[in-house]
Amino acid sequence: MKYRLFLFLVFLVGCGEPNLPKDQYNLEECKNELLDAEDYSGEGSIDRILVVKKDRKMYLYKDGKVQRTIPVSLGKNPVGHKQQQGDNKTPEGEFFIHRKLCSPKYYRSLCISYPRPSDIQKAKSRGVNPGGAVTIHAQPKWNADGKGDSYTLSRNWTQGCVAVTNDAMKELWYAVREGVPITIR
């Protein structure tokens, strides 16, 4: 029970908002895909993700070869590793995709395994919360049609997440399994 409460609280302080319409982006369709394990297709699958913050690019790999490059937006304060909740930094290091999430605010999301035990320990030693709920997510609901993609991709605007277009998220959703490693540098 404590773990579930912790995850709920982590979600609240990350890129999520709890009080949004339940039907945004057809959440039922998304949830049914997850329940029926129809959220992955071996065709076009990728086995590693690399995000290079200074280039604002995501590289999708399969068998050691780049399959696609996707432009991204990062946290509003993109330089350096995430230190604590509210610093608007995108974490740096080696992580993995630990969960897929149907989101009323950002269409669909891939949850990144931040904070790691070392991040928690460092934050604890400084007396701060490491933050959490860091994801690769799609666009906010005001840009559901993608007409604002050039605007959102021209700046860093998240609270520490990695944002992609809705079309890129559709591709990632079916190409990525839970456990895929992601490096952010």
Averaged pLDDT of the chain: 87
Residue 11 has pLDDT above 60, yes or no: no
Cα(1)–Cα(172) distance, rounded to whole angstroms? 31
Share in percent of the chain as helix, strand, coil (round to 5): 30, 25, 45
Residue 21 has pLDDT above 50, yes or no: no
Residue 27 has pLDDT above 90, yes or no: no
Tell me if 146 sits within 8 A of 119, measured CB to CB. Answer: no
Whole-prediction pTM: 0.83
Cα(39)–Cα(101) distance, rounded to whole angstroms? 11
Domain total of the chain: 1
Give the closest residue to 103 by CA, choosing from 14, 42, 1.
Answer: 14
Residue-level pLDDT at 30: 84
Instruction: Give 27 or 79, the one with higher predicted confidence.
Output: 79
* pLDDT per position as a tens digit, 103-138: 888 889 999 999 999 999 999 999 999 999 999 999
* pLDDT per position as a tens digit, 165-181: 999 999 999 999 999 99
Q: Which domain holds residue 166?
A: 2-17+24-184
Tell me if 149 sits within 8 A of 175, measured CB to CB. Answer: no
CA 7 to chain centre: 15
CA angle (157 as vertex; 151, 159 as ends), nearest 5: 155
Look up the CATH number of the domain holding residue 160: 2.40.440.10
